[in-house]
Amino acid sequence: MILPSTPSFSLQGKRALVTGASSGIGQACAVTMAEAGASVVCAARSADRLNQTVDAITAKGLDAQALTLDQTDLGALKTALQQPFDIVINSAGMARQKPALETSAEDFDSVMDVNLRSAYFLSIYAAQLMKAAKIDGSIIHISSQMGHIGGTHRSVYCASKHALEGMVKSMAIEWGPLGIRINTICPTFIRTPLSQATLDNPEGLKWIQDKIKLSRVGEVEDIMGAALYLASAASSLVTGTHILVDGGWTAG
């Protein structure tokens, strides 16, 4: 009897780009890529914190370098993507939380520029290079549970994430024959510097804990396994879909 073997989660010999890598979920994704053996380019707008992140990763004997990048600048983004990556993880994102009736055009444009427009063109630029190099690549977007439900005071954010989910499905259909996979990870509320103000509000925290069936706020470590799975050969038949890391929020 010949038993099956577990597919490898190793990323040895792979090149990975992680955007939004200076803190929070992006930083965690950069760490897990490097720990799995990838050479990681960590990109973010804030040079100081980005360099601190890369220094901490390389201090562990892992391979990482910093790239200061505002990915909403499409010219700079295209310039940054001159060499192909095997793995691209987009963790850059923003939100403007206010009632829909109070949303301004500037609110809408700012959120869409980061969450959708830059994600769209990052995907395209990365896939073009993967195609040219004949790389069976993996593109991963950090989306949100709000890409599958609605949320009070989050109309623009929800719109951007629902659009991202549809974008990924369409790109997966086009790029599947090329061996390029594209998926999303959809977290619930994760404890990061950006979410801390919400979590420090007792009423907000209670609302979140009541919605999350596992009754706890997420930690960045909860995202790392999903990122490694989608980046590795273990998910070689997975594309055009999402992994909800939401503690059961959307199940209810």
**Cβ atoms within 10 A of the Cβ of 195, count?**
19
- Please pick, among 125, 157, 211, 229, the residue that the annotation labels catalytic: 157
Is 120 one of the catalytic residues? Answer: no
Q: Is residue 157 annotated as a catalytic residue, yes or no?
A: yes
Question: Structure tokens of 98?
Answer: 């206010």
**Contact between residue 42 and residue 36 where contact means Cβ atoms under 8 Å apart:** no
Largest CA distance in the chain: 66
Q: Which of 161, 169, 206, 229 is catalytic?
A: 161
Token representation of residue 88 = 């691209």
Catalytic center residues: 157, 161
